Structure 1
Amino acid sequence: MEEGLLEKTGKSLKDWIEVVKKTELDKHKAIIDYLKKEHGFTHGYANFVALKTLKSDTGSMDDSTLLENQYKGKESLKPIYEKLIEGISSFGNDITKTPKKDSLSMIRKRQFALIKPATKTRIDLGLKLKGKEEEGRLGSSGPFGTMCTHRVQLTSVDEVDAEVLDWIKEAYEMAG
């Protein structure tokens, strides 16, 4: 996007952020409308500049901020998350943790697990277990779609048991 912005407008992202800051606009939609009307931006580039100006895109946030924001209003889920991380970390030191806006991807060579605080009372653990049958708590991927093959819904720390950790380890091994 940044390269395309420079090609299309002759100005860098940094230049456009300065242009927007001079307007003193501080609302996402107002910035988009301004860039479209006054500078002929397409929606995509206007949105990109607005996100970067307001530092509201995930690329402008550090990992700890992304994780902190995921659990705002869902603090009671934090112990479940911590127990999952503790268990997963024991599998090896070749795991990359990649926070996103609403979830945390666990990656070896490929993503093998996704931890998402789905509601105020539940974490959805997505797993990539190709070829494994659904059984009991190991259900269909549900809202994860093709990102994961299975989902485990967790509402208490006690549910992060040996069975769940075995499924995660199996996904971890498949991703290596």
Structure 2
Amino acid sequence: MTFQAYLDTIKEKTGLGPSEFRELASAKGLLEPGVKTGAILAWLRAEFGLGSGHAMAIAATFTERAPDADRIEKQFSGAKNRWRPTFEALLAVTNTFGVTNIAPTDTYISLVKPTTKLPAKFAIVAFTADRMDVGIKLKGVEPAGRLAAAGSWNAMVTHRVRITDPAQVDAELVGWLRRAYDAI
């Protein structure tokens, strides 16, 4: 299901589209600076009976996002640029599993498998000057060796692999990524 199809489902349920929700939120003062997303989500749940996913979709339409290309460039700014070739090589490998799309955020890049329902994230990649962190969604797999528990690093994944040298993007890491991709 595309994001637009998701919004269409919400309109069928409530009779309201993103622009109407925006007007109502603005009238309630929920679009003022400093208002937390949690307040918007609570309002959407209480007033319109939206579930968490639907509420988040509507809330996402309230904020303007930088274009994806700008968000990707931000990931590789300054000293982090040394990781661009390593990331591009990793992305090329994951595309051998099947289609892998990317979805950049302000702090990491998601690796996403398109599905017949909603696209499904199977990994994320974040960068520092010294490290490339690969978060992997591997439910039911015990952490071992360099496949560490993600812990509080990122709730969207179960495991984290810290890469400090491009040579560490190896068959073992690719195997974990393949397993996560295939599990979707």
TM-score range for the pair, normalised by the shorter chain length: 0.5 to 0.7
5+ residue gaps in structure 2? 1-17, 35-61
Larger Rg: 1
Whichever residue aligns with residue 112 of structure 1, its letter is F
Query: What SS does the corresponding residue of 2:110 show, helix, strand or coil?
Result: strand
Cα deviation for residue 142 of structure 1 reads 3.2
CA distance in 2, matches of 1:58, 1:124: 27
Indicate conservation of the 8 Å contact 2:143/2:149, yes or no: yes
CA distance 1:129–1:68, shift in 2 (3 Å): same
Cα deviation for residue 160 of structure 1 reads 0.3
Name 2:138's counterpart in structure 1: 129
Query: What SS does the corresponding residue of 1:165 show, helix, strand or coil?
Result: helix
CA distance in 2, matches of 1:87, 1:58: 33
1:66 aligned to 2:76?
Answer: no
Deviations 1:23-58 (A, max 9, x none): xxxxxxxxxxxxxxxxxx83x41239xxxxxxxx98
How many residues end up aligned between the 2 structures?
A: 135
Structure having the larger proportion of residues in helix: 1
Cα deviation for residue 141 of structure 1 reads 0.6
Name 1:20's counterpart in structure 2: none
Name 2:33's counterpart in structure 1: 47
CA RMSD of aligned residues (A): 2.6
CA distance in 1, matches of 2:63, 2:71: 7
CA distance in 1, matches of 2:132, 2:153: 13
Match of 1:115 among 114, 117, 125: 125
CA distance in 1, matches of 2:154, 2:26: 38
Whichever residue aligns with residue 171 of structure 1, its letter is A
Match of 2:88 among 67, 82, 85: 82
TM-score (norm 1): 0.67
CA distance in 1, matches of 2:182, 2:25: 45
Whichever residue aligns with residue 92 of structure 1, its letter is G
Cα deviation for residue 59 of structure 1 reads 4.2
CA distance in 2, matches of 1:112, 1:143: 18
Whichever residue aligns with residue 128 of structure 1, its letter is K
Indicate conservation of the 8 Å contact 2:26/2:32, yes or no: no
CA distance in 1, matches of 2:146, 2:26: 53
CA distance in 1, matches of 2:71, 2:83: 15
TM-score (norm 2): 0.64
Indicate conservation of the 8 Å contact 1:88/1:169, yes or no: yes
Query: What SS does the corresponding residue of 2:92 show, helix, strand or coil?
Result: helix
1:161 aligned to 2:178?
Answer: no
Match of 2:157 among 145, 148, 157: 148
Query: What SS does the corresponding residue of 2:103 show, helix, strand or coil?
Result: strand
